[in-house]
Structure 1
């Protein structure tokens, strides 16, 4: 990378820290710190919801499958888009209508206090492990691709995320997520255009690409591919529509804003499907042997996105791409950090340890918890980096299927199937863990080959992953759903107080939120637009000034486009805000 690229990365980190400093004045109480007081506008919440579901894994682990196998990886992102579309149709507004600060409070409303503690102490370590995987992936990739020290990358990124969450709370997290969307999308569009230009245009890209990369007939010819695709759609639907992930909508202003936020997130995923995976597929044409390009990368295909960028980007633009990759990871981490700190404070510290704690005590405890969890994530990422032979693609998906799916499935089923005993939640999770272990150790590829009469020698590594992951999803969904339905027979034995709480849950989740009626604080719509707008305008202007760097005309136009998008969106937000609210 050139000095211009290093300067762009440094400016990005300083800018992200400045956001947390600006939004610190929005924090007055625990509700502000953990869910932005339920005042966030749809466009900011939608950008944040999208970024929380997005990480640098897209440019590393997911890119590796696009490079080697083509279109199937897009199924995951199409499933994300469909999941958010269902958020808009049904789940998003109802999550906001629960009128809680943390998602675990929603779990308590539905399943009771025992489940609140069970899922709290399941979510905290799993959330930390997820964040550690994201940070590990970023560190290893940056080390091999950019020549950055892996430990330094992990520590600097982790500390930056920690400061953002600590100083500005949920407000800074959501604001930084929205601005990171504006950085990420234009630069990946530029990357796609330059990648297509490198291989001779769209027609040449299709013609020169391996027949298998765009062959949709593989759904019926490849072993277990259709099986895997259906399983992934089911898995992503569950992961985007459950009570644990209700947190992305608890911050929005009302039911209408929740629906619009979900639509924005769905649109971003739909639009990004081709943008994010055209460059790594183009890299398979330009660099058929990535092992010689990235000799130190454990899985060279994970550097495919960066390989095509090196071949096409002008001086200074790699810095923007790196910023986008950092943004993808930081957005997932800071949201998870703030969410998990809120869960600890509101679902364990206050109800169990300090029922009479003041709001100030809870706020200070939340900040102390944020520091502790942040340090834990950094240490965990460093421990991952010392393990050998980890594939980011397989690590992320296996974790999501074998561990996270059993955790979230009862939190989706409980929304529709409400008359179940209190133990239906935690017991379904335990059944799911047993199913995951059994599937991985006994429903193996060898078992499938023997059962279906297939030739094991003809199955490649991708097809093996298709079976392993698809079998785990279907087994978990089938057995855990059956168990959850079975527990209904014991509902009548539950105490009347619990059955009344189910009725209260049912009434609240269906009652739309009207901000003017439900909230006592005056809305700060104009203040949000004004601040975000004036943060975007200078950032976009700086990116546009990079067009002055001596580069080919295509590179200069790329800077003007990327910076212009950020600046124009910022200016539109400033114009939207009324002048009577000039910010803090």
Structure 2
């Protein structure tokens, strides 16, 4: 019998966690040599391969919230929550057809550089200081959610989780910059998908479930028939809102930062398609375990009495119920991975924005590249500490609903910021003041939405609980899309009436979008082989470690197979990448 530390944590689990954290530290130092200037550090010199960028683009819409807040929603409401993620997939599909190649053709280092090119220096500062603090708070929410759930389920002090995960991200991001951030995202995608598949398969194989057909029969009716859910008058318009909101959020200029890293516009489209496919497949496996948990344990509050929303522990409950000895450690690593991917992106993007869009144009106009690179590393550390502080701050707000926070923040704040950065990518005749004024109008509309306590004047009667939050989501979400769009087009009409003509910088912005990127001719570095080889070695090491656990840990045959499956997938992909890096040409991976 294995000694248990906390709830279902054995010495094997702790060893798995320790190896994971050391491995993440190591990634930062492996990729340290890849950054010789600020462009390398903030966007990989615009020379990264599509499969790295695609994995990272996927991870930007993923956090531990998927396994906590979203899983809690799946536990109570069933498959409905998956539609948010399908909305993400549709957003990435639009990336593929419409925006990803445009983003790469902007030829900028940070996403705020594109705001300056399109809307001028004033908007550069407006969007810098709306995005940077909000991303710090957002990352703090993710870190807080992880700490609370891990504390309640595994009895690990939330302060320990915040500091350990925070420090790991800071060390990796400061040392390796964008290269380390995106490389770690690729490995973490492999880990997340493998663990999710294992939990899903083992949950369906549980005797109380009896496969997918058994799950369909045993879960409450509303898990797959949304119209019969309690207080679900607005469920279909909520679904429509989720698709619209996510599509606009994923296709705005600020969220271009992943595609700025890829080597050309053709690979940008491949990266967006990879993210799209991952986001379509993911929900099909992520939310089966929490729905199975609803069958096995209808009263999650009796299992996790210390969680403000006990249903948020549903995925982890199912993992503890079915996973073999030692694999709980990998499950926690998956939670860490989901949060770390969100945090490290925040650090790298924020530090890049601070250096390129505030430090250089405002504080040190004549700063050289070495100075910018040094300041970028310092600011990565500073933003890391701020995110840790935000996570500690959110720990004092334990009674808040993570799902509601994330969803409403996206519709009420994210959409007003995104709308001018979507339309501005296509409409050349919009004046520069259209950007900041659209944000102001949208945020004002969101404020009025909150202040409207009684929605009876819509003819829907008094609203409480879920109906009120659903109504607020689609009212603020669709309302902001409509109001912000109308205002933006109104500015075009007004500008035309007063004879506005785009200046040379705006003309160049749109000319760049019509000009395909030639990475080699434009001074890009040819690092394809190094990328494939380095990633191949890292995947082979981590996959080999997991496979070794399948041999060493005394588990049943199914438990050993679970480890060997994860190890074989990660290690096998590593081997394929390593071989491709050793060949002179690897068109199937690098073209």
After TM superposition, the score normalised by the length of structure 2 is 0.95
2:83 matches 1:79 = no
- Structure 2 Cα separation of the partners of residues 254 and 220 of structure 1: 49
Alignment of 1:353-502 (within 5 A): 353-442=363-452, 444=453, 446-448=454-456, 451-454=458-461, 456=462, 461-492=465-496, 498-502=502-506
Partner Cα separation in structure 2 for residue 490 and residue 216 of structure 1:
44
Deviation sequence 1:113-149 (CA, Å, 0-9, x none): 1101110111110111111111111111111111110
Structure 2 residue runs without a partner (length 5+): 1-8, 586-591
C-alpha displacement of 1:498: 4.4
Contact 1:401–1:472 (8 Å) recurs in 2:
yes
Provide the residue aligned with 2:6 in structure 1.
Answer: none
Is the deviation greater in 478-487 or in 96-105?
Answer: 478-487
- Matched with 1:62 is 70
Is 2:333 the counterpart of 1:329?
no
TM-superposed CA distance for 1:201, in Å, is 1.2
Partner of 2:54 in structure 1? Answer: 46
> How far does residue 159 in structure 1 lie from its aligned partner after superposition?
0.8
Q: Name 1:545's counterpart in structure 2.
A: 548
Residues in 1 aligned to 2:503 and 2:584: alpha-carbon distance in whole angstroms: 49
1:261-298 CA distance string (max 9 Å, x none): 00000010111011110000111001100111001111
**Cα-to-partner distance string for 1:466-492 (whole Å, 9 max, x where unaligned):** 111111112111111111111113324
1:212 to 211, 219, 222: 222
Distance 1:500-1:179 versus aligned 2 partners, 3 A rule: same
Deviation of 1:522 after TM superposition, in Å, equals 3.6
Answering whether residue 162 of structure 2 is matched by residue 154 of structure 1, we say yes
Decide which moves more: 385-394 or 496-505.
496-505
- Aligned residues, how many? 574
Distance 2:327 2:19 in 1: 13
Q: How does 1:128-207 map to 2 (within 5 A)?
A: 128-198=136-206, 199-207=209-217
Q: Aligned partners of 2:231 and 2:446: how far apart in 1?
A: 27
Question: Aligned-pair distance for 1:553?
Answer: 1.4
Q: RMSD of aligned C-alpha atoms?
A: 1.7
**Cα distance in 1 between the residues matched to 2:366 and 2:426:** 34
Partner of 1:231: 241
* Secondary structure in 1 matching 2:222: coil
Residue aligning to 2:360: 350
User: Could you tell me which residue of structure 1 aligns to residue 3 of structure 2?
Assistant: none
Distance in 1 separating the partners of 2:364 and 2:232: 57
Whether the 8 Å CA contact 1:61–1:393 is kept in 2: the answer is yes
Distance 1:270 1:218 in 2: 25
- Which of 1, 5, 30 pairs up with 2:13? 5
Residue 218 of structure 1: CA displacement?
Answer: 4.6
1:568 aligns with 2:568: no
Partner of residue 534, structure 1: 537
Give runs of aligned pairs for residues 289-308 of structure 1, distance below 5 A.
289-308=299-318
Is the CA contact 1:220–1:226 (under 8 Å) kept in the aligned structure 2?
Answer: no
**Structure 1 residues 333 and 348, CA gap change in structure 2 (3 angstroms):** same
TM-score when normalising by structure 1: 0.96
Q: Which moved more, 1:194-203 or 1:51-60?
A: 194-203
Shift of 1:578: 2.3
C-alpha contact 1:112 1:498 (8 A) present in aligned 2: no
Q: Which whole-Å CA distance do the structure 2 matches of 1:90 and 1:451 have between them?
A: 36
2:449 touches 2:476 (CA, 8 Å); kept in 1? yes
Cα distance 1:159–1:497, how it changes in 2: closer, same or farther (>3 A)?
Answer: farther
Displacement of 1:390 = 0.7
Q: Tell me the distance in 1 between the aligned counterparts of 2:408 and 2:82.
A: 17
Q: CA deviation at 1:508?
A: 0.8
Distance 2:167 2:498 in 1: 47
The superposition leaves residues 386-436 of structure 1 with CA deviations (integer Å, 9 ceiling, x where unpaired) of 124111101111111111211111111111222111110001101111100
* 1:286-316, Cα deviation, whole Å (9 max, x unpaired): 1100111001111100000001111101100
Separation in 2, partners of 1:59, 1:92: 28
Separation in 2, partners of 1:216, 1:406 = 29
Q: Structure 1: give runs of 5+ residues left out of the alignment.
A: none
Q: Structure 1 residues 164-173 or 209-218, which shifts more?
A: 209-218
Query: Aligned equivalents of 1:332 and 1:149: distance in 2?
Result: 21
2:432 is paired with a residue whose SS is coil
Bigger Cα displacement from structure 2, 569-578 vs 416-425: 416-425
337, 341, 347: which one pairs with 2:351? Answer: 341
Distance in 2 (CA, whole Å) between partners of 1:493 and 1:121 is 31
Tell whether the 8 Å contact from 1:421 to 1:494 is kept in structure 2 after alignment.
no
Q: Distance in 1 between matches of 2:460 and 2:327?
A: 52
Alignment of 1:84-99 (within 5 A): 84-99=92-107
Farther-moved stretch of structure 1 (304-313 vs 472-481): 472-481
**TM superposition shift of 1:47:** 0.5
Q: Secondary structure at the match of 1:120?
A: helix
Once the 2 structures are TM-superposed, how far is the Cα of residue 461 of structure 1 from its aligned partner?
3.0
8 Å CA contact 2:222–2:229 kept in 1: the answer is no
CA offset digits 1:542-572 (Å, max 9, x no partner)? 1011112111211111111111100000000
Distance 1:140 1:204 in 2: 32
Give the Cα–Cα distance (whole angstroms) in 2 for the partners of residues 418 and 149 of structure 1: 53
1:515 matched residue in structure 2: 519
